Amino acid sequence: MKTLPSFDELKALAETDPQALEQLRLDMSQDIIDNASEHMKPKLQAQLCHINNVIAVGKNPNHVNALLMKELMRQFDRFATAVNDPESLTATTATVTPFRPRRDAETVAVEG
């Protein structure tokens, strides 16, 4: 696996060649996924896809950072819930109502 460059090198890359920095992010992410267990690979690939989608929505680097922080906090909250109250993640509160077509819908004539 590659070693993450120093902060100063990353900062310089962001200023001079943002596309190269993005490629480094993608390459290192894929390297981590490739070295993960077979069980974790699909989950990590899905997470990377989700992160890429969040990044794509951002209008500028500051907006991307804000969106990623919001996503990180959302996932941290879910993790805390899983640790502190795991039953709440599987509890259901929805009521399922069976679909019943209306009687008048059955009598509508189709004109041809």
pTM for the whole thing?
0.68
Q: Is the pLDDT of residue 110 over 60?
A: no
Q: Is the pLDDT of residue 36 over 70?
A: yes
Contacts of 71 (CB under 8 A, 6+ apart): 50, 51, 54
| CB distance 54 to 68 below 8 Å | yes
| CB distance 4 to 28 below 8 Å | yes
Distance, CA of 66 to CA of 57 (rounded, Å) = 11
The residue-averaged pLDDT of 6-12 equals 96
The residue-averaged pLDDT of 33-56 equals 96
Q: What is the pLDDT of residue 92?
A: 76
Q: What is the pLDDT of residue 48?
A: 96
Sign of CA dihedral 63, 69, 72, 76: negative
| CB distance 73 to 54 below 8 Å | no
Q: What is the pLDDT of residues 46-104, one digit of tens each?
A: 999 999 999 999 999 899 999 999 999 999 999 999 999 988 888 777 788 888 877 76
Q: What is the pLDDT of residue 103?
A: 72
What separation in angstroms does the CA of 37 have from each of 32, 43, 65, 112? 10, 10, 29, 60
DSSP state of 41: H
